Structure 1
Amino acid sequence: MLYDDFKPIVDLILNNWTALQLAVEQGMGAPGGEKTAQLMSVYIARYCVENIVDTLELTEVIEDLMDEEFDTVCHDNSPKEVASLLLMFLSLLKEGKHDELRTRLEAMPKCQKWLSQPIHESVPPQCHGNPDDDTTSSSGEEDGPEDESKDGATASSSNNQESEPMDEDVEPGWTVVKTRRRK
């Protein structure tokens, strides 16, 4: 079955994705982030195998999952890179190019495979609501006063003297992932 061959590849790619690792390690989103990431891997693998997707569509799915499940928005173009890699490997699988697939997989960085760990059935996955449910607000409404948001952004940017200043419109609790440019 295509899913059984593709799922370990999805795990490997997501294991190497720094934005997802940081979101899980920093406890972004609901409790049980590692299990959520494992379920995200299952969802992405099934979505790719069961649908005809292009890079833009898969990028949007990945961005939505990171936003909804981990309250994380990536500004470093990494969701598109992840989507491109996933679709390239899926294409190699579908075309039966197993030698090229194996060569490309072996060239990938080695990492701890934390997503491949079995999900314990005794612990139910965290309920994050229905993705079609509009219970979250994207209109910029804040739970607290607006001044707290601006003070948090100012304090955060003063700690990183040489980095770019943080945008004031970033909501508290969000992780901003940007590319690092070396001079």
Structure 2
Amino acid sequence: MLYDDFKPIVDIVLNNWTALQLAVEHGMGAPGGEKTAQLMSVYVARFCVENIADVDELTEVLEDLMDEEFETVCHDNSPREVAALLLNFLTLLKDGQHEELRNRVEAMPKCQKWLSTPIHDESTPPQCHGNPDDNTTSSSGEEEETDRNVIESNSAPEPMEEDPEPGWTVVRTRRKK
């Protein structure tokens, strides 16, 4: 199946996309960014295989996913470059030019394959971020006591001033008096 051959290529390309990697590493969007990026890879691979897409259309899909899922807008033309690269690889795959495809993929920079972790439910749409209220980590009582003491020893926090533009908050450092 074309999807099975194309999906690993999409993973490699998205693994090398700096904008996506930075968005995930810096927690842009909702929690669960790595899983969202993995689901994005599934969505992009299916979109390319199931549609007759051109560079402009795929660029728009990538820009929309980055904006909606990671609250990130790329001003560096990278979504267009990623779209062109993916469609080029898909064309090579469809045309049966496997040797040329393999050479081009191998020529790409090597990076940590953080998108290649298997996803159990590939039908989940990219919008699924998980529940931010889930607290599955536990800490020892000693750590909780230390945290409580630190919180109690701090003076009342200074209020943050909100910028008139919604969605932005001005954060100022505390100064000791």
When normalised by structure 2's length, the TM-score is: 0.71
Equivalent-residue separation in structure 1 for 2:116 and 2:15 (angstroms): 9
* Aligned with residue 129 of structure 2, among 103, 106, 126: 126
Equivalent-residue separation in structure 1 for 2:37 and 2:169 (angstroms): 32
Question: Displacement, 1:118?
Answer: 1.3
Structure 1 unaligned residues grouped into runs of 5+: 129-143, 156-183
Structure-2 change in CA distance of 1:151 and 1:116 (3 Å): closer
Equivalent-residue separation in structure 1 for 2:166 and 2:44 (angstroms): 36
Write the letter of the residue equivalent to 1:126.
H
Equivalent-residue separation in structure 2 for 1:107 and 1:147 (angstroms): 45
Structure 2 unaligned residues grouped into runs of 5+: 132-161, 173-177
Question: Displacement, 1:120?
Answer: 5.0
Structure-2 change in CA distance of 1:7 and 1:146 (3 Å): same
Question: Displacement, 1:94?
Answer: 0.3
Equivalent-residue separation in structure 2 for 1:151 and 1:69 (angstroms): 21
Question: Displacement, 1:146?
Answer: 1.2
Aligned residue in 2 for 1:26: 26
Structure-2 change in CA distance of 1:8 and 1:145 (3 Å): same
Equivalent-residue separation in structure 2 for 1:14 and 1:21 (angstroms): 8
Which secondary structure does the structure 2 equivalent of 1:52 belong to?
coil
Structure-2 change in CA distance of 1:115 and 1:146 (3 Å): same
Question: Displacement, 1:76?
Answer: 0.2
Equivalent-residue separation in structure 1 for 2:39 and 2:63 (angstroms): 15
Equivalent-residue separation in structure 2 for 1:150 and 1:100 (angstroms): 47
Which secondary structure does the structure 2 equivalent of 1:104 belong to?
helix
Task: Please say if residues 15 and 113 of structure 2, whose CA atoms lie closer than 8 Å, have aligned partners that are also in contact.
Answer: yes
Structure-2 change in CA distance of 1:27 and 1:96 (3 Å): same
Question: Displacement, 1:113?
Answer: 0.4
Equivalent-residue separation in structure 1 for 2:113 and 2:90 (angstroms): 20
Structure-2 change in CA distance of 1:151 and 1:120 (3 Å): closer
Across the two proteins, how many residue pairs are aligned to each other? 136
Equivalent-residue separation in structure 2 for 1:148 and 1:95 (angstroms): 49
Task: Please say if residues 28 and 72 of structure 2, whose CA atoms lie closer than 8 Å, have aligned partners that are also in contact.
Answer: yes
Task: Please say if residues 32 and 130 of structure 2, whose CA atoms lie closer than 8 Å, have aligned partners that are also in contact.
Answer: no
Aligned residue in 2 for 1:59: 59
Equivalent-residue separation in structure 1 for 2:166 and 2:43 (angstroms): 36
Q: Percent identical across equivalent pairs?
A: 74
Question: Displacement, 1:127?
Answer: 6.1
* 1:40 maps to 2:45: no
Aligned residue in 1 for 2:144: none
* 1:106 maps to 2:138: no
Higher Rg of the two aligned structures: 2
Equivalent-residue separation in structure 1 for 2:163 and 2:85 (angstroms): 42
